[in-house]
Amino acid sequence: MHHFEYRDGTLFAEDVSVPDLAKEYGTPLYVYSAATFKRHYKAFDSAFAGLDHLTCYSVKANSNLSVLKMLAEQGAGMDIVSGGELYRVLKAGVAPEKIVYSGVGKRASEIKQALEAGILLFNVESVAELLKINEVAKEMDTIAKVSFRINPDVDPQTHPYISTGMAKNKFGLDIDHSLAAYKMTADLDHVEAVGMDCHIGSQLTSIDPFLEALEKLLKFYEKLKDLGMDIKYLDLGGGLGISYDDEEPPHPTEFGQALANMLTGIPLKIILEPGRVIAGNAGIMVTEVVYTKSNPSKNFLIVDGAMNDLVRPSLYGSYHRIGEVVQNGRKTEEYDVVGPICESGDFLARDRELPRIVDGELLAVYSAGAYGFTMSSNYNSRPRACEVIVDGNTVKVARQRETYEDLIAKEL
Ligand SMILES: *Cc1c(COP(=O)(O)O)cnc(C)c1O
Shortest-distance atom of ligand 1 to CA 371 = 8
Percent of the chain with pLDDT over 70: 100
Under the banding of pLDDT at 50, 70 and 90, the label for residue 12 is very high
Q: Which CATH architecture is the domain 4-32+280-408 placed in?
A: Beta Barrel (2.40)
Distances in Å between the Cα of 304 and the Cα atoms of 226, 289, 346, 347, 404 are 60, 7, 11, 11, 16
Residue 251 CB burial class (10 angstroms; 0-12, 13-18, ≥19): middle
Per-residue pLDDT tens digits for 304-342 = 999 999 999 999 999 999 999 999 999 999 999 999 999
Domain boundaries, the chain: 4-32+280-408, 34-277
Q: How far is the CA of 336 from the centre of ligand 1 (A)?
A: 30
Ligand 1 atom closest to the Cα of residue 197 is: 13
Mean pLDDT of the chain: 96
Ligand 1, atom nearest to 203 Cα: 7
Is the domain 34-277 a CATH 3.20.20.10 member? yes
Q: Place 172 in a pLDDT band, splitting at 50, 70 and 90.
A: confident
Give the C-alpha separation, 148 to 283, whole Å.
33
- For 316-380, the three-class secondary structure string (H helix, E strand, C coil) is HCCCCCEEECECCCCCEEEEEEECCCCCCCCEEEEEEEEECCCCCCEEEECCCCCCCHHHCCCHH
Angle value at C-alpha 371, between 30 and 367, nearest 5 degrees: 60
Ligand 1 centroid distance, CA of 334 (Å): 34
User: Mind telling me the catalytic residues?
Assistant: 342
Distance between Cα 343 and ligand 1 center (Å): 29
- The predicted pLDDT at position 240 comes to 96
Residue 191 pLDDT exceeds 90 = yes
CB 283 within 8 A of CB 30: yes
Is residue 165 scored above 80 in pLDDT? no
CA dist 403 and 410 (Å) reads 13
Beta-bridge partner residues of 54:
271
Nearest C-alpha neighbor of 367 from the set 31, 21, 24:
31
Note if the bond before 28 is cis, omega within 30 degrees: yes
Distance of alpha carbon 359 from alpha carbon 303, whole angstroms: 9
Q: What's the full length of the chain, in residues?
A: 412
Helix (H) or strand (E) holding 215: helix 208-226
77-80 and 99-101 strand pairing: parallel
| Mutation test residue for ligand 1: of 41, 102, 164, the one with most atoms within 8 Å of CB | 102
Q: Give the pLDDT of residue 167.
A: 78
Q: Per-residue pLDDT tens for 353-373? A: 999 999 999 999 999 999 999
More confident call, 383 vs 159: 383
pLDDT tens profile 133-142: 999 999 999 9
* CB 322 within 8 Å of CB 366: yes
Q: Alpha-carbon distance 330 to 259, whole Å?
A: 48
**Is residue 41 within 8 Å of residue 57, measured between CB atoms?**
yes
Is ligand 1 within 6 A of the CB of residue 339?
Answer: no
pLDDT of residue 157: 84
pLDDT bucket at 168, cuts 50 / 70 / 90: confident
Q: How far is the CA of 175 from the centre of ligand 1 (A)?
A: 20
User: Which residues make beta-bridge pairs with 17?
Assistant: 12
The response to whether residue 61 sits with its C-beta less than 6 Å from ligand 1 reads: yes
**pLDDT for position 40:** 98
